[in-house]
Amino acid sequence: MNPEDFIQSSPELKNPFFSNQILQGILKSTLSQDLYKTLFSALETFGKCIIEEVHPLGLLAERNPPIHIPYTSWGKRCDTIETHKSWEQLKDFSAKQGLVADGYERSFGEYSRIVQMSKLFLFHPSSAFYKCLLAMTDGAAKVFELYGQNDDIFKKAMKHLTSRDPEIFWTSGQWMTEKTGGSDVSETSTIATPNKDHYLLSGIKWFSSATTSEMTLALARLPEAPKGSRGLSLFYIPVRDNHGELNGITVRRLKDKLGTRALPTAELTLNKTKSWLIGEPNKGVKTVATMLNITRLYNSICAVGQMDRALHLLKNYSHSRIVFNKPLSQQPLFINVFTKMNCQLYASASLTFEVARLLGKEETHQANSDEKYLLRLLTPITKLFTAKQSVTVTSEALESFGGAGYIEDTEIPVLLRDAQVFPIWEGATNVLSLDVLRVMKDPQAYTAFHQVLNKKINALSKNHEKPMAHLQNYLNLMSQFINTHQTETLEFLQMTSRTLAWKMAELYASILMFEHAKNSQDPHLNSLAHIWSQQIYFDLNPQQIRQTLELKPYLI
């Protein structure tokens, strides 16, 4: 055959739910038989919508990024941010499908968050990162649910945020980051001045996503408030006033980002921006933590969805790509690498749906004490773990496509460019590791972790004696490390926190993988669980930490 006549077939995107063994296995394991059947049918239809409706819109939005128009033709400041019509169509789809509403209607009781996350798992990779708006919208709705029930302004906003009607549905932003402080919000310099029944905010927000949303939440400091994070309050801001004009907001510029290019992210000046206090004064960090727990779950499920999409395309491609006289899918080394990536995906998905399950129980007042501690502990652990795994898996998948994986118009590089944001948004890995350390200041948090895993290991030991013995030893070594070193210096504990959080994720995920394989009776998932368990070890070395501390004066 003439080489010029050869055309490599492109990877085909098929219904992302139909043959998704990992997602189906987790749902079958977690839900009742009747609910699983109902959801299976709904997600099969939803997956078809992703292919036929969402994916074409996502491609259009990605190819037509937002544009900032600072002035009208006659010189009036307008700060219009133009987005492609596909961006608005993604909003309409999100509303109609109840991607936020599912979490608040709670039609499926304690499993409502699992249903919601299943849809987001499928929706996100085709949506040009529209999930970012949905995450912050859901987070804002959660804040209003807990802190805004006695205020008509907040109740009205809540109805918009959770509506299924595209004409009524609002999205929300989350404007926290400033030049003086990103993850460290204690340096927030935006000032909130009391003005009758509301406040006027003035300051600069350096990184403000979802700038085209109808509302946002923002941190600011009241006059005479204490310095640091204890002096911050949370405020509700309508982006536009009753006349449709920006509410004291100037768009300084749009951010030129590595990825998430369809998503409008801006640097803003607030100049006497009208706002309303949410919750108690000077309790903003505590109040906004409610939002962060939701957005971190979204970050996790979308990181998992990103991995799944990369592997979905790679699997399809591997059957048509001929290398060394046979399909890539039959090459032993590729099979080994692809299996490892599936283990990482299965571990990440198992953890994420566990957090969704626990959140659903808490929201329906069915969570016991251990489950509440686990939810608080696992949320940052899962976010940091899934985010890093997503970067690793999408990078490995891109490499497996060879040169085609590096060419933008194959639509493969965008998976890696976008994945890079997962470890940064909603708390970078180090920030989340320190959050885990804070949670574990309460001994009951790790006690709950240990007791729950101990119980799960005992239940699985009958059918999986050897791997459970290994995982029991892993758990014992972890508990021994924590008990032995809990009185170490803060510097020592902080240096161990990242590795410890990762090890906790590895272990919890491993046990969940066996649980789902058993409950779903899926031999494929059982094999992945065994392979994963054989490659994880508790090897946190205190001597290495001390040596690192000794090197500090020479390295930094």
> For the residues 154-180, what does the mean pLDDT come to?
96
pLDDT at residue 55 in the model: 98
CA angle 451, 369, 138 (to 5 degrees): 115
Q: Beta strands 172-177 and 215-221: pairing type? A: parallel
CB 532 within 8 A of CB 347: yes
Mean pLDDT of the chain: 96
3-state secondary structure of 511: helix
CB 505 within 8 A of CB 379: no
pLDDT confidence band for 4 (50 / 70 / 90):
confident
Which of 135-139, 317-321, 360-364, 547-551 is the least confident region?
Answer: 547-551
CA 480 – CA 427 distance, rounded (Å): 29
Is 172-286 assigned to CATH 3.30.70.260?
no
Whether pLDDT at 391 is above 70: yes
pLDDT at residue 47 in the model: 98
Whether pLDDT at 1 is above 90: no
> For the residues 45-74, what does the mean pLDDT come to?
98
Whether pLDDT at 384 is above 70: yes
pLDDT at residue 324 in the model: 93
Whether pLDDT at 337 is above 70: yes
User: Which region holds residue 231: left if phi is over 0, alpha if psi is between -120 and 50, else beta?
Assistant: alpha
149, with CB counted inside 10 A (0-12, 13-18, 19+), is exposed
CA 65 – CA 530 distance, rounded (Å): 44
Whether pLDDT at 68 is above 90: yes
CA angle 248, 253, 254 (to 5 degrees): 110
> For the residues 199-205, what does the mean pLDDT come to?
97
Q: Beta strands 172-177 and 249-254: pairing type? A: unpaired
> For the residues 24-46, what does the mean pLDDT come to?
98
pLDDT in tens, 411-469: 999 999 999 999 999 999 999 999 999 999 999 999 999 999 999 999 999 999 999 99
pLDDT in tens, 521-556: 999 999 999 999 999 999 998 899 899 888 888 877
Residues near 383 by Cβ (< 8 Å), separated by ≥ 6?
Answer: 296, 297, 299, 300, 426, 427, 432
CB 299 within 8 A of CB 129: no
Q: Residue with structure tokens 């924590």? A: 482
Whether pLDDT at 130 is above 80: yes
Whether pLDDT at 2 is above 80: no
Looking at residue 51, the DSSP 8-state letter turns out to be: I
CA 191 – CA 281 distance, rounded (Å): 13
pLDDT at residue 181 in the model: 72
The widest CA-to-CA distance across the chain, in whole angstroms, is: 80
CA angle 319, 300, 451 (to 5 degrees): 110
CB 508 within 8 A of CB 351: yes
101, with CB counted inside 10 A (0-12, 13-18, 19+), is buried
> What percentage of the chain has pLDDT greater than the value 70?
100
Whether pLDDT at 280 is above 90: yes
Domain boundaries, the chain: 172-286, 440-555
